Each structure stands twice: as structure tokens, then as C-alpha cells.
DNA sequence: GCCCAGGAGATGT
DNA sequence: ACATCTCATGGG
């Protein structure tokens, strides 16, 4: 089915921009398990097509196709590096992912590089998750909270996750025991942030990634090593800690701070904006 | 071999 | 509240 006519870049959005780690590119398109269901996305000209049990509106929301990014660019047009970063990637979108899938992949992301985050995401999915087939290829979904909570720590360590193993298991147990993960999108930013910070393996940076990519909180502003470098290079940063930078950036940039952050992050990481 | 990676938690001040 | 250490593991 056709889900959109927008000129969006699937490779940039799903793989290169490091906001999710489960997509793989095949000759037939991009495939992954999203919200527990297999999905294939591909383009024909400007049109985006999908093969999935997910409804058209769900996929449009996942890809953030309803948002006017031209308006976001205008919102930050008075900040030179911001305007430049957004205009540099007119086909990049900030995904609306599943809260649980975002939470688990970003616990894996702590002090880790992108290619290894992908391998660990794949490893725990193959080891614990549900298997599907999509155009002749096997793909696995991430483990559910119950599957992860019941996995022995030693088994998880054999998959290579290292010291993050107990974080995954304890967080999974809290979610399985009623942590309000799926209510975070309806809370205020401050309430949702406070809740997420209770979870083992979730600090300021991971919390903001979950809020931004997995809970629809577009003001969430994750500060990783690259965003820190860019902020120090291009702005008069007096904050020392990354959390202080996050607070200052959110305060200065307002409602769509996090969307801008994703463009800045990618520009810094690829070197498209000199630091 | 070295340094780095979309950091978090524990400890000490 | 802030600074410093340690924590697995593989990529470059």
C-alpha cells in the first residue's frame, strides 16, 4: 500500500541517523519488526510504500509524515547553525517509535558505538524475540518485557551486552510489573522524565531519547558526546554537565528543541557541520 | 596496542 | 550539587 507521497529519505531516517537500530536494507526495501509486527518500506519515486499489518495511519505517524518540517525550520531560522542543519537534510524525519522498543535499544546505547548497538539489538532479538519472515528473510522482533525479565543474566551476557545485562532485566521486570511506560506520552515532560529516571540503566541522556523518539515529547533534548561538542563549538556554553546543557537548550529552544537536536546530532556526527 | 562510543551508577567531596 | 572512577565490548 502507498502510505505517503512525501519526499523522505528512508535510508537516512531509518539507518544513518542512529535514532533506531533494528532496520536493515535489502534489495526489496527496508525491513524490521516495529511494534511487534514485521514491516517492509520502499520508495517508488517520491512515494513511500509499505507491506505490513500495521495500518496506514500508524505507519504515517511512525515516520512522522504528518509534521510540517518547513515550519520547524522557520521556527529556528534565527539560529544560523540550526537553520543550516535542518536545510541540509530536507528528507530526514524524527520517528515516533514504540516506547518499549526505544527504551531497550537506548539502554543498549550507553557508552557504545552505533554499529555495536545494532549488533546487540539484533543479538537479543534473535535470542529472545519473536521470529518472522519478510520477503524470504528471517527477522526478529525485540523481546517483550516478560521475555527479557525471565532471561538469566548469564544468557544475556553471552549475547555481548556486558554490564548492561542487569539494567535490561531489572527495567523489563519493572515494566512487566506495571511501570506506566505507555502513559508517558500523555504526561507532562517533567512527569514523564521523572518516571523514566527511576528505571535502571536510564539516566538523563537515555531518558531524553526515549521521550523524544518513543513518547512524542518533541522538546526532549538528548545531549550525547556529539551534541555536546557542537554546542560548545557553536554556542556560548557555560554549563559543565550534559544535564545542565540539556536544561539550558530546552529552555532556549522550546517546543521542538528535540527535533532540532536530531538534525544537529547528525550534522555533527557526519562532519557535515564543522566543529 | 590505543582510544573511542547517542552513559549510568557508585562513591567521595 | 558537582567531579571522578568503573563498568564490557568491539570498531576504527
Q: Clarify whether A205 is annotated catalytic.
A: yes
Cell numbers at residue A77, please? Answer: 531560522
Q: Is the CB of A241 under 7 A from strand C?
A: yes
Q: Which nucleotides of strand C come closer than 7 angstroms to any CB of the protein?
A: 2-3, 7-12
* Per-residue model confidence as pLDDT tens digits over A161-188: 999 999 999 999 999 999 999 999 999 9
Q: Is the CB of A211 under 7 A from strand B?
A: no
Find the Å distance, CA of residue A27 to C1' of nucleotide B9.
43
Q: Are A197 and A184 in contact (CB under 8 A)?
A: no
Q: Please name the nucleotide lying closest to A203, CA to C1'.
A: B8
Backbone angles phi, psi at A212, to 5 degrees: -75, -50
The H or E element spanning position A42 is strand A37-44
> What is the per-residue pLDDT for A7?
85
Task: Tell me which residues of chain A have a pLDDT lower than 70.
Answer: none
Tell me the whole-structure pTM to 2 decimals.
0.98
Average pLDDT value over all residues in chain A: 97
* Per-residue model confidence as pLDDT tens digits over A6-42: 889 999 999 999 999 999 999 999 999 999 999 999 9
> What is the per-residue pLDDT for A5?
82
> What is the per-residue pLDDT for A140?
98
Could you tell me which residues come within 8 angstroms of residue A123 by beta carbon, excluding any fewer than 6 positions away? A159, A160, A161
Provide the CB-side half-sphere exposure for A11 (13 A, CA): 4
Give the β-pairing of A131-134 and A137-140: antiparallel
**Which of A43, A119, A205, A243 is an active site residue?**
A205
Q: Is the CB of A112 under 7 A from strand C?
A: yes
Report, in angstroms and rounded to the nearest whole number, the Rg of chain A calculated over CA atoms: 18
A259 DSSP assignment: H
Measured distance CA(A231)–CA(A90) in Å, rounded: 22
Q: Is the CB of A202 under 7 A from strand B?
A: yes
Amino acid at each position: 500500500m502507498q502510505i505517503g507521497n512525501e519526499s523522505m529519505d528512508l535510508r537516512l531516517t531509518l539507518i544513518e541517523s542512529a535514532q533506531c537500530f533494528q532496520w536493515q536494507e535489502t534489495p526489496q526495501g527496508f525491513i524490521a519488526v516495529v511494534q511487534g509486527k514485521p514491516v517492509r518500506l520502499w520508495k517508488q519515486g517520491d512515494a513511500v510504500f509499505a507491506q505490513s499489518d500495521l495500518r496506514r495511519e500508524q505507519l504515517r505517524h511512525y515516520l512522522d509524515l504528518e509534521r510540517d518540517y518547513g515550519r520547524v525550520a522557520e521556527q529556528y531560522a534565527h539560529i544560523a547553525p540550526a537553520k543550516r542543519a535542518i536545510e541540509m537534510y530536507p528528507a530526514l524525519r524524527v520517528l515516533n517509535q514504540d516506547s518499549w522498543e526505544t527504551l531497550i535499544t537506548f539502554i543498549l546505547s550507553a557508552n557504545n558505538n552505533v554499529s555495536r548497538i545494532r549488533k546487540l539489538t539484533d543479538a537479543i532479538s534473535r535470542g529472545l524475540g519473536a521470529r518472522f519472515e519478510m520477503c524470504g528473510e528471517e527477522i526478529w522482533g525485540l523481546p517483550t518485557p516478560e521475555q527479557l525479565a525471565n532471561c538469566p543474566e548469564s544468557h544475556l551476557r553471552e549475547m555481548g551486552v556486558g554490564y548492561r545485562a542487569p539494567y535490561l532485566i531489572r527495567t523489563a521486570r519493572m515494566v512487566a510489573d506495571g511501570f506506566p511506560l505507555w502513559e508517558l506520552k500523555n504526561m507532562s515532560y517533567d512527569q514523564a522524565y521523572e518516571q523514566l529516571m527511576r528505571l535502571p540503566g536510564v539516566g538523563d541522556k537515555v531518558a531524553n531519547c526515549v521521550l523524544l523518539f518513543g513518547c512524542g515529547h518533541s522538546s526532549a533534548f538528548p545531549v550525547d558526546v556529539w551534541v555536546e561538542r557542537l554546542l560548545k563549538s557553536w554556542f556560548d556554553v557555560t554549563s559543565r554537565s550534559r544535564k545542565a546543557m540539556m536544561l539550558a537548550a530546552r529552555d532556549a529552544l522550546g517546543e521542538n528543541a528535540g527535533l532540532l537536536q536530531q538534525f544537529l546530532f547528525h550534522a555533527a556526527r557526519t562532519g557535515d557541520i564543522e566543529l
